[in-house]
Amino acid sequence: MEDLILPDKKVSQAKDSKTIQVFAPATVANVVCGFDVLGFAVNEPGDEVVMRVTDKPGITISKITGDNGRLPLDPAKNTVSVSVRHYLESVGQPHLGLDIELHKKMPIGSGLGSSSASTVAGLFAIKTLLGDDNDVAKLLPFAMKGEEMACGHGHADNVAPALMGGFVLIRSYEPLDVVRLPHPAGLYCAIVFPDVDVPTREARQIIRNKINMKDAVTQWGNVAGLVSGLFMNDIDLIGRSMKDVLVEPVRSMLIPGFYQMRDMAMELGAVSFGISGSGPSVFAFTRDEQTAHNITKKLQAFLTGIKINSNSYVSTINDKGPRVL
């Protein structure tokens, strides 16, 4: 990562433009077979950050909404301010005065990349305020610093698609190598978040460290099939490939009724069904919007029946990533 040394006039511009409001999208990481290497962005839900240049050096967080008091206002502990601070240091403006409002518009701990959406919104806000013309992908290492703090693991399968939009492959972490993948235009995503507690840290810890080579071969055959299906616009191949013999069998135990929900979704015509990130959200790909709505309706009714609250979202894949509101 090269340092981005920006001219002083850019910072003056930033002070003039005062306030910016940015949306960044939720993301589905892993995409069933692609544990830690695949992810895509959706149009909703997502988070919003309002950022204002101030005269007082340093970052403050003046307001967080939608988090039920769960997120820290302390800028040394919040993923948004921490990643923005790393960015400011890299561009030689460590003391720039900034005030941040964070508006959570999506559930925390949902497996939908909640911390990534906030972090990416913050980074895109400061990038835009400073008039930094570099590719958004250059923000990735800073976003990963935020993830490291939020999840105890600097993974990129949520932040990369939140930042770049679309379907993203993280081929390698050292060195970081990110590839944007195409996808069929008509693919819809139905997401249901069952409101049960599955902390990301714990969801990672239950995954086995040692696995069978045979299962790994099955998994990378499916990863290769999914990537091929995305390039070939072959929704059947995408569906056949979205099978996870390694992580889903373990993580699904933390999601009440997971296999029943999968059966319901597949019976209603889903292309595929699985856990979003580390859960508990689940998602299905469908060939049309109506099927996606039928699935969220059926799954939410099921969850209500077993006394679990839920949220749902229907969306195409978001190819744009963060945007100024």
Residues recognised as catalytic: 147, 200
Q: Per the structure block, which two tokens stand in for 324?
A: 């100024």
Nearest approach, Cβ of 156 to its own copies (angstroms)? Answer: 11
116 is in an annotated binding site: yes
Which of 53, 223 has the CB closer to its own copies? 223
17-53 exposure pattern, b = at least 16 Cβ within 10 A, e = fewer: eeebbbbbbbbbbbbbbbbbbbbbbbbebbbbbbbbb
Which of 230, 284 has the CB closer to its own copies? 230
Which of 95, 201 has the CB closer to its own copies? 201
112 is in an annotated binding site: yes
107 is in an annotated binding site: yes
Which of 5, 213 has the CB closer to its own copies? 213
Asked if residue 159 lies in contact with residue 83, where contact means CB atoms within 8 angstroms, the answer is no
Residue closest to 12 by CA, chosen among 159, 91, 129, 92: 129
Residues near its own copies (CB under 8 A):
34-38, 169-172, 177, 179, 181, 207-214, 216-225, 227-228, 231-232, 237, 240-241, 246
279 is in an annotated binding site: no
Nearest approach, Cβ of 217 to its own copies (angstroms)? Answer: 5
Q: Phi, psi (5° rounding) for residue 130?
A: -85, 0
Q: Is the peptide bond before 182 cis (omega within 30 degrees of 0)?
A: no
Residue indicated by tokens 């939020």: 150
Nearest approach, Cβ of 1 to its own copies (angstroms)? Answer: 17
Q: Which long-range contacts (CB under 8 A, 24 or more apart) does 297-304 make?
A: 298/264, 298/265, 298/268, 299/192, 299/261, 299/264, 299/265, 300/192, 302/257, 302/260, 302/261, 302/264, 303/192, 303/194, 303/256, 303/257
114 is in an annotated binding site: yes
Nearest approach, Cβ of 212 to its own copies (angstroms)? Answer: 6
Which of 241, 315 has the CB closer to its own copies? 241
Nearest approach, Cβ of 262 to its own copies (angstroms)? Answer: 19
Residue 89 burial (CB count, 10 A): 13
165 is in an annotated binding site: no
* Numbered residues of the known binding site: 107-117
* Numbered residues of the known binding site for ATP: 107-117
